[in-house]
Amino acid sequence: MLSSKKIKSALLSVFYKNGLDEIVQYLSSNGVKIYSTGGTLSFIEGLGAEAQAVESLTGYPSILGGRVKTLHPKVFGGILARRNTPDDLAQLEQYEIPEIDLVIADLYPFEETLASGASEAEIIEKIDVGGISLIRAAAKNYSDVAVVASRRQYAELLAMLKENGCGTTLANRKYLAAQAFNVSSHYDSAIFSYFNRSEHIPSFKQSVHGAMPLRYGENPHQKAAFYGSFGEMFDQLHGKEVSYNNLLDIDAAVSLIREFVAPTFAILKHNNACGAASRATLPEAWRAALAGDPVSAFGGVLVCNRELDRETAAEVSRLFCEVVIAPAYSAEGLAILKQKKNRILLAAKTLELPATQSRALLNGVAAQDRDLRAETEKDLTSVTTAKPTAEQVEDLLFANRLVKHAKSNAIVLAKNRQLLAAGVGQTSRVDALRQAVAKAGTFGFSLQGAVMASDAFFPFPDCVEIAHKAGVAAIIQPGGSVNDRQSVEYCNANGVAMVTTGVRHFKH
């Protein structure tokens, strides 16, 4: 067994006391001198254990409404003193400062207070000063001092102490120090993010506790993990572990389905919708979505915005799919879908996503506002002699929501609130359109009376001409090209309705 350093004295000052009792009793039974403060001291004494108030050590009471309790040389000297440095030990003796071998301190619940909608004054009061100072000091001096900065580590600490005869090894202390700095850095990042809401200091900080291990990354030779709170967004009701590629598709699916209010089903493959439809009922929406591309649907990610009922589940179950996402499942529907043991079934708790997005690029991170613009009928400007009918406007808005979430360059062809075909991820808009037209034909769709949506403007009238000749009757696009007039003139000459939104929706 590695040599361990016995704990002779400990300082306990915590906000959360659940689970602390076993540690207190163990320390007390091993003759450890315990120092404590305020509510923690009362808690320890309530267990029948002895502890000395920090105030009696420092000679100062808790002041400023509890803002200053432990900030004193007699506390921090005992924590920071280097046990292998004679001068440090001499000063401890000179100033009658006891050595402290273990610090257990957590932090005021800043993030929880912020999330509760508390006032600014209440939030500021939950910025910990003494606790984080104790944690940093103990972690810095890990050669001699053990530190625990979170109640999540109480059980782990107790196991260490028992294994080492009420002591810790150097490896234990270094590990605990790393965990402590993880806690303190996350805490400071949260505080900075709060202040930076209004100050807009050009600094990127993001801290996430915990990681969900993934089988591998995009490919089997790539290691991967997800840093986030997957369980806050979904309950996984069935199936294998979620993969990296599943997560990418799940993110795309959630972003897409948020756009729709009517019963809607979408099928995604490689982050793009290959099928989507809105109907009066969910079974009808599923059938129309699947008809859009039953080939690409194989192995896809399915998402809907209504409870997945028995009838729909029975039809969905005939298709091999990786993931199904719904706000809820009927008991019968869930039982049917569970018949495939690996099929991942997710119940969405919330579809709320962060307002900003970030992506690792080159040697840094690029951050941007999430594209939350959702055009409505009032945002449409008719630029042609022919005006879209009410039904066409509905289809244009439907197609525009889909193209917003397709990889650029992107074209969407739709009719009767059904995705007929999409051309995505092409290096030219013409190629994207030709891909969509050809794909619609492959699955037997007539484009007569269909609408077309483009994620960006048409630099030339060629796309408008190709779409018209394929049967498209109405077009929605951002507009803004120096050659807009050429596209409008072609539409006017051929009775095609065109509306512009003034909003580009590139997605890369």
Calpha distance 253→453 (Å, rounded): 19
Calpha distance 233→389 (Å, rounded): 39
The first and second tokens of residue 99, run together, are 């050595």
Calpha distance 161→145 (Å, rounded): 13
CA 75 to chain CA mean position, Å: 40
| Rg for the chain, CA atoms, rounded | 31
**Paired strand residues for 33:** 9
Catalytic: 140?
yes
Please state the length of the chain.
Answer: 508
**Paired strand residues for 365:** 360
Calpha distance 73→279 (Å, rounded): 71
Strand, helix or coil for residue 166: coil
Q: What is the 3-state secondary structure (H, E, C) of 340-369?
A: CCCCEEEEECCCCCCCEEEEEECCEEEEEE
Q: Phi first, then psi: give them for residue 171, nearest 5 degrees.
A: -65, -40
Helix (H) and strand (E) counts in the chain: 19, 23
Calpha distance 62→493 (Å, rounded): 84
Question: Active site residue: 6, 8, 140, 174, which one?
Answer: 140
Distances from the Cα of 341 to the Cα of 161, 253, 301, 401, angstroms: 42, 22, 16, 34
Catalytic: 468?
no
Calpha distance 393→375 (Å, rounded): 11
Contact 434, 423 (CB under 8 A): yes
Question: Active site residue: 174, 270, 338, 340, which one?
Answer: 270
The first and second tokens of residue 28, run together, are 């007390």
Catalytic residues: 140, 270
